[in-house]
């Protein structure tokens, strides 16, 4: 198994991506940012990513759909953290 220390952040919210990148970099990790799940999947850095931090609610492919796509790719070594800024019990439209 390869030692993968790259953390990839996938989120359509640019200020969040930048803040998370700064935080994770301060913790000593190498970080790459992607504005969409499609951009992440098309990246040559996908095999190097050891941990994925992704927003659940994004336009286009959601974080849940990205997670399911990675399962189909059979990437068991990739740790995943899905996050959401939505209030519990509210729909995407109610939180907008």
Number of domains making up the chain: 1
**Torsion sign over Cα 54, 6, 4, 24:** negative
Answer whether residue 92 is part of any domain: no
What is the span of the domain harbouring residue 53? Answer: 7-87
Answer whether residue 16 is part of any domain: yes
Two tokens, residue 15 = 């200020």
Global model pTM greater than 0.85? no
pLDDT score at 63: 82
Q: For the sheet containing 79-83, what is the strand order?
A: 30-34, 6-10, 49-55, 79-83
pLDDT score at 12: 92
**pLDDT tier at 58 (50, 70, 90 boundaries)?**
confident
pLDDT score at 50: 87
Give the CATH number of the domain where residue 40 resides: 3.40.50.2300
Contact 12, 35 (CB under 8 A): yes
């Amino acid at each position: 198994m390869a030692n993968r220390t790259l953390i990839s952040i996938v989120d359509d919210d640019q200020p969040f991506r930048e803040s998370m990148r700064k935080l994770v970099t301060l913790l000593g990790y190498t970080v790459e940012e992607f504005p969409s799940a499609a951009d992440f999947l098309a990246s040559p850095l996908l095999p190097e990513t050891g941990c994925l931090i992704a927003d659940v609610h994004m336009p286009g492919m959601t974080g849940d759909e990205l997670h399911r796509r990675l399962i189909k790719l059979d990437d068991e070594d990739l740790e995943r953290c899905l996050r959401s800024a939505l209030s519990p019990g509210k729909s995407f439209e109610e939180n907008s």
